[in-house]
A and B are shown apart, each in its own frame.
Chain A
Amino acid sequence: MFYFISPSKIFKWIERVTDFINSIFFVVLIIGLTFALLISPPDYLQGDSVRIMYVHVPSAWISLASFTCIAFLSFLTFLLKLKNLNLISKSIAPIGLLFTFLAIATGSLWGKPTWGTWWVWDARLTSMVILLLFYVLYILSTKIFKDEDKANKVSGLIAIVGLINIPIIKYSVDWWSTLHQPQSINILSGSSSIHSSMLFPLMLMLLVLLLYCALIFLMKYKTEIIRIKRKNVKRL
């Protein structure tokens, strides 16, 4: 199995997959934006401000999923000592940071018309800021230390410790009284209280952002592989 996830095996597929995503991306983006901004109906309570959901919710999902992935891969790296898993984690981190920032920024923009305030230090919002800090710490730790082994150990530790924050974010709306609404979609059980006319655009926008994530991940992963190879160019 590890043979198939070796960088040289994956490398030749990166260009093909990137080309494929590039060829469909703008079509999916335009369809997604059309549904999100034009076709989907306004909410009976929130009116058109509900359209912010189409960027806010997928961003939040991606930010949580990315950190969970990084923590899981870091744990595997400690266990199996596979450096490739570290490269994958490092390539996911900027995506997670970007989408955590977007979830917070778009959430704030959604908060003003619905709650009457841009920001409030409640459990969900605060735990998202903590997640953002964990991403910053993780990325800084991969850059600060000159010794790669030390950097990998410290960043891995940050990811594993930060994993504690993920269930806190997810269940914060149930555990504490917050301004943030409880979850309308449960990915784990597949249940949803959102009408299909809004659920479909939401899933389309999720697809758009996932395709974008794949593009960034592939480019970043390719960069990381080349960076490693460049260090040992004469020993290749």
Chain B
Amino acid sequence: MIEKLVLMSGYGFFVWLSFAITLFACSIVYYRTYKTLKKYEKAFAKELKELSDSERKKVLENSKIANQVFASYNKSI
């Protein structure tokens, strides 16, 4: 049964390569997108951290996005 699945009546090379290329390309894109997101989140949170206390407080009050990024960054460290 395994042999039949691997060989697929002689089409195994084409079928498995198609699925492998799809999985590989999708994994690469996922990994790169995830890494870029984390890099930006980290850089943004660091910039917020470098602000003075009053500035940071004002920014976090005004921007929900900054607030969420800062909170999730603090949670992750």
A interface list, Cβ under 8 A from B: 7-8, 11-12, 15, 33, 36-38, 42, 47-49, 51-52, 55-56, 59, 94, 98, 101-102, 105-106, 109-110, 112-113, 212, 215-216, 219-220, 222-223, 225-227, 229-230, 233-234, 236
Contacts and interface: CB of A to CB of B under 8 A. Distances in A.
B44 to A, nearest CB: 5
Given A52-B15, A230-B44, 19 more contacts: A11-B65, A48-B8, A48-B11, A49-B14, A51-B15, A101-B25, A113-B14, A216-B30, A219-B37, A220-B33, A223-B33, A223-B40, A226-B41, A229-B65, A229-B66, A230-B43, A233-B59, A234-B55, A236-B59
Contact of B59 (A51, A225, A234): A234
B40 A102 contact: no
Nearest to B27: A212
Interface string B13-36: 011011101100110011001101
B9 A42 contact: yes
A102 B22 contact: yes
- Residue from A101, A102, A219 whose CB has the most chain B CB atoms within 10 Å: A219
B30 A212 contact: yes
B51 A113 contact: no
A106 B47 contact: no
Q: Is the interface of A mostly helix, strand, loop or mixed?
A: helix
A219 B33 contact: yes
Q: Is the interface of B mostly helix, strand, loop or mixed?
A: helix
A233 B11 contact: no
A53 to B, nearest CB: 9
Nearest to B66: A236
Contacts of B47: 230, 233
Contacts of A105: 18, 21
A113 B55 CA distance: 65
Interface in B20-77: 21-22, 25-26, 29-30, 33-34, 36-37, 40-41, 43-44, 47-48, 51, 55, 59, 62-66, 68-69, 72
Nearest to A234: B55
B14 A110 contact: yes
A190 B33 CA distance: 34
A3 B34 CA distance: 28
14 contacts: A12-B68, A15-B68, A48-B9, A59-B22, A94-B33, A98-B25, A212-B26, A219-B37, A220-B33, A220-B37, A225-B65, A226-B44, A229-B65, A233-B59
Pairs A-B, 4 closest by C-beta atoms: A48-B8, A49-B11, A236-B63, A106-B18
A30 B70 CA distance: 36
A36 B37 CA distance: 32
Nearest to B47: A233
Contacts of A236: 59, 62-63, 66
Contacts of A222: 37
Contacts of A98: 25-26, 29
